[in-house]
């Protein structure tokens, strides 16, 4: 016999068996699968196969080839959870067990085999995203990162006038709140919410009572439930396992005998003998687990729980250590970035100071050149004034005999005097301008001196900052010194450690109750928010039934409690 395993995307394991003369029993094949997975909580699982449109489970004490399996090879078996826990957090010990249940329940919700209200579907999707992607990071998980993910039932998507982007926005808003949860913690939160759904863990079978009335029989971890075919959410009557005295079948007739002999025996017929066998298998297995939960744990389970607690504590301490290292690295990176920013700022200031110095030097050169030109112009004007004075003296000395010449001479003298006066004023103005330029040159040289002094100060600061930066940048390489811390965490769990862990667990329970209240408020808030976008005409019968139950304040557990206490309903269903 050869066995091939294939794991599908949704987590279902499919085993194809080729039989060549080896007479394996069902337990041999089942144990091989469990060993391959590293699974120890085997009592929840089984190998399922299909024969004539009816599902069946491989019997442990029967040879594989003696089952009514298909004759063609290879024979296909599906490794699935056969029985469900009442309380996933208390009963599921191994992480692999939790993961397998998470994958199976998630697929059942997406395939709408388990009814889930829209607001709860969004919350469950956020935990599924946390389990797959880890903590939310806006720089990594950008808009559209969930576009290819199947996270919501198609019924929920079609029920509202909402785009995929709008659904992603609401899922991401809750996803961001789950920061710090590891994969196993997110999957457990998913199961804790899913286990309160009405159809969680229920196997439904079509039956008829003696009157020929069509009904549904539901078998789950709490007991047997009778449903109307149109309402799989609310049972008409329930038989808790501790109130059932006997279950048996003969051919297609199935009999349930209550513990209270005053209540009539309930009989019904199924369509096939094979279905009755399957119902009986599920009843026996669920009843055994129901009674087992109410007894002290076996030595094996106690050892598994102790190992799980130690492993959980070890992982928690490891996560805390990693969180501390991450925090220190982030602080070192922030310090390094701040120093680099300061260094860049100082470099920019030095560049600006250099530019200012160059501009000051250029200004000083220009002022010096202008002062020199002004001095030369003043000398030239003084020379021209002297020449004009000489010309005036020459003109005065020249004798002009005619009146006209005298008048012209007087006019020329007057013009020469006015020109000499203007030359003198211009010479004086140029001299003052030269003095002012000399003063400006002095100020420019003083500014140049101050700029050089500031540049020297900035250069000294920059060298100090670079030395600090080099020492800080080297910090991450020193982080392996945490090995000292690692060595001190020997994970030797003493009594004080376990007491402290117990106190932390109690504290977590109190916090969980507070979070549950907050969670319900968030669910109601989301329901109110998207209610305006609902398309009433697309509501299914289960949507309507769920809303009616919610408006009456009915939940899965109090409904079962109520119907199990009433015998009048049962009398209407039982054989007259």
Binding residues: 59-62, 277
Q: How far is CA 85 from CA 13, 112, 563, in A?
A: 20, 20, 21
The pairing of strands 45-51 and 2-7 is unpaired
The distance of Cα 157 from the centroid of its chain, to the nearest Å, equals 21
Give the whole-angstrom CA distance, residue 228 versus residue 558.
18
Q: Identify which of 39, 36, 83 has the alpha carbon closest to the alpha carbon of residue 57.
A: 83
Helix (H, G, I), strand (E, B) or coil at 165: helix
* N-terminal to C-terminal alpha carbon distance within the chain: 53
DSSP label at residue 555: -
Q: How far is CA 570 from CA 169, 266, 564, in A?
A: 47, 8, 9
Burial 466-492 (b: 16+ CB within 10 A, else e): eeebeebeeeeeeeeeeeeeeeeeeee
Query: Tokens 């063609």 appear where?
Result: 72
Structure tokens, 304: 């598994």
Over the Cα atoms of the chain, what is R_g? Answer: 47
Q: How many other C-beta atoms can be found within 10 angstroms of the C-beta atom of residue 496?
A: 8
DSSP label at residue 243: G
Q: Identify which of 372, 378, 371 has the alpha carbon closest to the alpha carbon of residue 436.
A: 371
Find the DSSP H helices in 160-229: 164-175, 183-194
* 462 CB-contact burial (10 Å; exposed 0-12 / middle 13-18 / buried 19+): middle
Give the whole-angstrom CA distance, residue 220 versus residue 447.
92
- DSSP string of 461-487? HHHHHHHHHHHHHTHHHHGGGGHHHHH
Give the whole-angstrom CA distance, residue 370 versus residue 435.
11
- Cβ distance 232 to 219 under 8 Å? no
- DSSP string of 416-458? HHHHHHHHHHHHHHHHHHHHHHHHHHHHHHHHHHHHHHHHHHH
- Cβ distance 79 to 215 under 8 Å? no
């Amino acid at each position: 016999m050869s066995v091939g395993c294939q794991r599908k995307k949704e987590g279902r394991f499919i085993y194809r068996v080729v039989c060549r003369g080896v007479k394996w029993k069902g337990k041999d094949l089942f144990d091989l699968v469990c060993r391959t997975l590293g699974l120890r909580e085997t009592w929840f699982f089984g190998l399922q196969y299909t024969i004539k449109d009816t599902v069946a489970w491989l019997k442990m004490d029967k040879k594989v080839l003696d089952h009514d399996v298909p004759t063609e090879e290879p024979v296909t078996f599906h490794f699935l959870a056969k029985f469900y826990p009442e309380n996933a957090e208390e009963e599921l010990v191994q992480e692999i067990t939790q993961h397998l249940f998470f994958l199976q329940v998630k697929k059942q919700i997406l395939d709408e085999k388990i009814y889930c209200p829209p607001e709860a579907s969004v919350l469950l999707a956020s935990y599924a995203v946390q389990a797959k992607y880890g903590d939310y990071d806006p720089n990594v998980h950008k808009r559209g990162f969930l576009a290819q993910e199947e996270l919501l039932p198609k019924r929920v998507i079609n029920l509202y006038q909402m785009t995929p982007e709008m659904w992603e926005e609401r899922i991401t808003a809750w996803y961001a709140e789950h920061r710090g949860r590891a994969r196993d913690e997110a999957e457990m939160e998913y199961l804790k919410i899913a286990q309160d759904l009405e159809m969680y863990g229920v196997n439904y079978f079509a039956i008829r009572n003696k009157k020929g009335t069509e009904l549904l029989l539901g078998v789950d971890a709490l007991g047997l439930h009778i449903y109307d075919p149109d309402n799989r959410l609310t049972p008409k009557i329930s038989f808790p396992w501790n109130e059932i005295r006997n279950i048996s079948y003969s051919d297609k007739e199935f009999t349930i005998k209550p513990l209270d002999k005053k209540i009539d025996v309930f009989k019904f017929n199924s369509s096939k003998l094979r279905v009755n066998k399957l119902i009986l298998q599920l009843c026996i297995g669920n009843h055994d687990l129901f009674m087992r939960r109410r007894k002290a744990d076996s030595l094996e389970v106690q050892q598994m729980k102790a190992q799980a607690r130690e492993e959980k504590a070890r992982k928690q301490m490891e996560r805390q250590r990693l969180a501390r290292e991450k925090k220190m690295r982030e602080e070192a990176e922030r310090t390094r970035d701040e120093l680099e920013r300061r260094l860049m700022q100082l470099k920019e200031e030095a560049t600006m100071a250099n530019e200012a110095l160059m501009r000051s030097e250029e200004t000083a050169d220009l002022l010096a050149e202008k002062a020199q030109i002004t001095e030369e112009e003043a000398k030239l004007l003084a020379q021209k004034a002297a020449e004009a004075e000489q010309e005036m003296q020459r003109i005065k000395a020249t004798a002009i005999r005619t009146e006209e010449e005298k008048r012209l001479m007087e006019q020329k003298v007057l013009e020469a005097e006015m020109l000499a006066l203007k030359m003198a004023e211009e010479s004086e103005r140029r001299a003052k301008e030269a003095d002012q330029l000399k003063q400006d040159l002095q100020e420019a040289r003083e500014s140049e001196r101050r700029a050089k002094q500031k540049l020297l100060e900035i250069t000294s600061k920059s060298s100090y900052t670079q030395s600090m930066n080099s020492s800080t940048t080297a910090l991450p390489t020193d982080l392996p010194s945490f090995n000292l811390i690692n060595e001190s965490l020997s994970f030797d769990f003493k009594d004080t450690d376990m007491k402290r862990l117990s106190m932390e667990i109690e504290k977590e329970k109190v916090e969980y109750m507070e979070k549950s209240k907050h969670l319900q408020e968030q669910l109601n808030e989301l329901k109110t928010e998207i209610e305006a976008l609902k398309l009433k005409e697309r509501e299914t019968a289960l949507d309507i039934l769920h809303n009616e139950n919610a408006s009456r304040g009915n939940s899965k557990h109090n409904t079962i409690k109520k119907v199990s206490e009433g015998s009048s309903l049962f009398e209407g269903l039982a054989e007259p």
